[in-house]
Amino acid sequence: MVEFKNATDENATLDKAYTQIQNYKTAVPSIFFYNALCVISDGIEAGASSVSAPRSRYLSWRSPEKTENGIVPELEIMTQRMFEPETLVKLIRYNTVFEKEEEKDPETGLLSLVTIKKVAAYHQYYAVQKAVQETIKATHDTD
C-alpha cells in the first residue's frame, strides 16, 4: 500500500499519509489481507513499515553507502534502493516477522492476542544481509 500526498501542497505531511492508511484499514480492511508493506510520502520525504506499525516506525530508506548527503529526496532513494526487485523480495521474504502481542480493550478491559507484523528498517535489512554474507563466507572451505 502506498499513500502519496501532493508534493505541491504545503499542508501535505507524512502524518496525513499515515492517517489515511489508518482510515483505509478501518473502511476497507480486506485490502490489507495480503499486504506486504506500507509506504507513506509527501512527495519528498518517505517512510515504510508494516500495516500494524505505529507512525514512529515508518522510517526512510537509505543506501548502505551513504552517498546521498541529504540532497536526494527520500522518496527517490526509496524508489531506487528499497524497490529494487532483489531488495524488495529479500525485505518481504527474509526481513518480515510476525509476533503475538496482548491488546487490552480500553472500554471493556478484556485482553486479546493480536498478530503484529514487523518489517526491518533499512539499517536492520543491511545488517542482516551482511551477516548472511559473512556466515556463508566463513562456512565455505577455503581450500
Judge contact between 62 and 75, C-beta under 8 A: no
The C-alpha cell that represents 111 in the structure block: 485482553
Instruction: Output the pLDDT for position 67.
Output: 63
| Interval 80-94: pLDDT, tens | 999 999 999 999 999
| Interval 56-82: pLDDT, tens | 999 999 877 766 666 788 999 999 999
Sequence-distant (6+) residues with CB within 8 A of 48 are 37, 38, 39, 40, 58, 59, 61, 78, 82, 119
More confident residue, 27 or 141: 27
Percentage above 90 pLDDT, the chain:
81
What mean pLDDT is reported for the chain? 91
Q: Cα Rg for the chain, rounded, in angstroms? A: 18
Q: Is 118 helix (H, G, I), strand (E, B) or coil?
A: strand
| Interval 18-43: pLDDT, tens | 999 999 999 999 999 999 999 999 98
